[in-house]
């Protein structure tokens, strides 16, 4: 029997769970978000927006730019949600440490950091005169 070549599992997941439309929506969300920020700062569309009756005041332009920013942010979050939704389900399966274990690990980490800092301070104390002497010999 002839073996069939199976495509990589990662490509199957990307094609099935994260379609091209999601990537396009994410890119357009970023573009709309940047456009909204530029409108909010007044760097773009200032002349054409003030000519229209609906955008004749700064408050109306600010409200419009905030709406554009929110639409871009919503599109970006919607496009990125397939990447983060499985992690919420996975977080329910995690066994979290109890209070005693957390204190124990925290004390160990800070103890190691203090030990490392003291080690470097001692190295600096002993090697600084040697390096200063070598530097003076070189000059």
pLDDT of 103-128, one tens digit each? 999 999 999 999 999 999 999 999 99
Map residue 73 onto helix, strand or coil.
Answer: helix
Evaluate if residue 24 carries a pLDDT over 60. Answer: yes
| pTM of the predicted structure, to 2 decimals | 0.48
Cα-to-chain-centroid distance, residue 29: 16
What is the structure's pLDDT at 43?
66
3-state helix vs strand vs coil in the chain, percent to 5: 80, 0, 20
Percent of the chain exceeding pLDDT 70 equals 77
Dist. CA 29–CA 16, nearest whole Å: 22
């Amino acid at each position: 029997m002839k073996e069939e070549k199976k495509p990589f599992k990662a490509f199957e997941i990307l094609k099935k769970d994260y379609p091209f439309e999601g990537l396009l929506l994410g890119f357009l969300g970023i573009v709309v978000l940047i456009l909204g920020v530029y409108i909010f700062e007044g760097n773009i569309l200032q002349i054409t927006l003030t000519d229209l009756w609906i955008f004749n005041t700064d408050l109306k332009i600010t409200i419009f730019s905030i709406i554009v920013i929110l639409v871009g942010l919503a599109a970006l979050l919607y496009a990125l949600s397939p990447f983060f939704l499985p992690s919420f389900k996975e977080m329910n399966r995690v066994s979290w440490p109890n209070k005693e274990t957390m204190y124990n690990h925290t004390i160990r980490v800070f103890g190691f950091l203090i030990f490392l800092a003291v080690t470097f301070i001692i190295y600096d104390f002993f090697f600084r005169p040697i390096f200063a002497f070598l530097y003076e010999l070189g000059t």
